[in-house]
Amino acid sequence: MSKIDDVRPNERRKHRMYVTRNTEYHFRKGVCVAVRCRNTGNWLLGHTTLNRTISGAVSFRGGEACPTLTPPRVGEALFFGENGPDVVTSALTAVARPQKALVSAYPF
């Protein structure tokens, strides 16, 4: 279970999508199951965030990066810090529930 799921214990939805300017990160039960390029629509099968959980978020205030363990919000970056190299995404432009057709197109 990811750290952000610990913050939302009553969340019933299984799927969540975090969107940056160029990339969509798709999660099922807190684990990144698919990553898609927004420009081409192609799934990024070798992305370093696959099969990982979000460790937290990073907000940027006054030119400084401020880490947090709260659920990521629009304007903040995702932070992956476990089970692989540290990854900080660009700032989120949206947090949404993906459409069923998109979930059924996941490449796993």
Q: What is the largest CA-CA distance in the chain?
A: 41
The tally of CA atoms less than 13 A away on the side-chain side of residue 37 is 9
pLDDT value of position 7? 46
pLDDT of amino acid 11:
56
Q: What is the pTM of this model?
A: 0.86
Residue 95 has pLDDT above 90, yes or no: yes
DSSP state of 71: P
Phi-psi region of 41 (alpha: psi -120 to 50; beta: other; left: phi over 0): left
The residue range of the domain holding 99 is 3-104
58-67: long-range contacts (C-beta < 8 A, 24 or more apart)?
A: 58/88, 60/91
**For residue 12, pLDDT beyond 90:** no
Output Rg (C-alpha) for the chain, integer angstroms. Answer: 13
pLDDT at 90 over 60: yes
Domain count, the chain: 1
pLDDT in tens, 28-56: 999 999 999 999 999 999 999 999 999 99
Task: Report the first-to-last Cα separation within the chain, whole angstroms.
Answer: 20
Phi/psi region, residue 22 (left: phi>0; alpha: psi -120 to 50; beta: rest), is: alpha
| pLDDT over threshold 50, residue 3 | no
